[in-house]
Structure 1
Amino acid sequence: MTAPDHEPHDGPAAPAPGPDELSVRDRALLALERRPWPGPGAKERAIREELRISPVRYYQLLNALIEDERALREDPVTVNRLRRVRDARRGRR
């Protein structure tokens, strides 16, 4: 059984974010994406252990998140990098 998508880990629930703020889960997605990884296995393991979601769900959430202007305000470097990577992959298809 997995934890709900809105909680990145077990523990007390954080206060609800304001309308112009990212959720705890969204911040956790960006924080995980900022980290350097020695390989895809380590990142997938961290996704499962820290966020308690599958890697497929992680990338679904991340793709939606990088379109959110709140994410761009929160972490412009990471969001713009992810947008460039996504756009380059779309261009190759």
Structure 2
Amino acid sequence: MPLSDRDRAVLDFEAHWHGHSGAKEEALRAELALTPARYYQLLGRILESADAVAHDPVLVHRLRRLHAAQERERRSRARVLPASAR
């Protein structure tokens, strides 16, 4: 499925975002009319698309690597926690 205008806007926003997390949340609402939760849901879905890679391969591969590293970190923390803490 080809990227929509909103999908491209999300990728372009992420590619050009430089700032603090609080300011990013405000910018998401102002520029894209999205809550942070919805933005990250969309971004995760978009990153799975081959069309996203075609649109901005460097960004998409970087974000995929970051996501994979975060998943590995979450899994390793879950293994370390005692069963009663889960």
TM-score by structure 1 length?
A: 0.75
> 1 CA distance for matches of 2:25 and 2:61?
22
Query: Which one has the bigger helix percentage?
Result: 2
Q: Which amino acid aligns with 1:86?
A: H
Structure 1 segments, 4+ long, off by >6 Å, are: none
Check if 1:29 corresponds to 2:10.
yes
| Unmatched runs of 5 consecutive residues or more in structure 2 | 75-86
Question: What fraction of aligned residue pairs are identical, expressed as a percent?
Answer: 47
Deviation (angstroms), 1:53: 1.1
For the residues of structure 2 that align with 1:24 and 1:83, how far apart are their CA atoms? 21
1:31 is displaced (CA, Å) by 0.6
Aligned residues: 74
Q: Distance in 2 between matches of 1:36 and 1:74?
A: 17
Aligned-residue offset at 1:36: 3.6
Alpha-carbon separation, structure 2, partners of 1:42 and 1:88:
25
Q: Provide the TM-score with structure 2 as the length reference.
A: 0.81
Runs of 5+ unmatched residues, structure 1: 1-18
What SS is found at the alignment partner of 2:18?
coil
Distance across 1 between alignment mates of 2:47 and 2:8: 12
Instruction: Determine which structure has more spread, i.e. the larger CA radius of gyration.
Output: 2
Q: 1:17-72 deviations in whole A, cap 9, x for unaligned?
A: xx5x4211001000110114221011111110111010000000000000000001
Question: Cα deviation per residue 1:69-88 (whole Å; 9 max; x = unaligned)?
Answer: 00011100110011001000
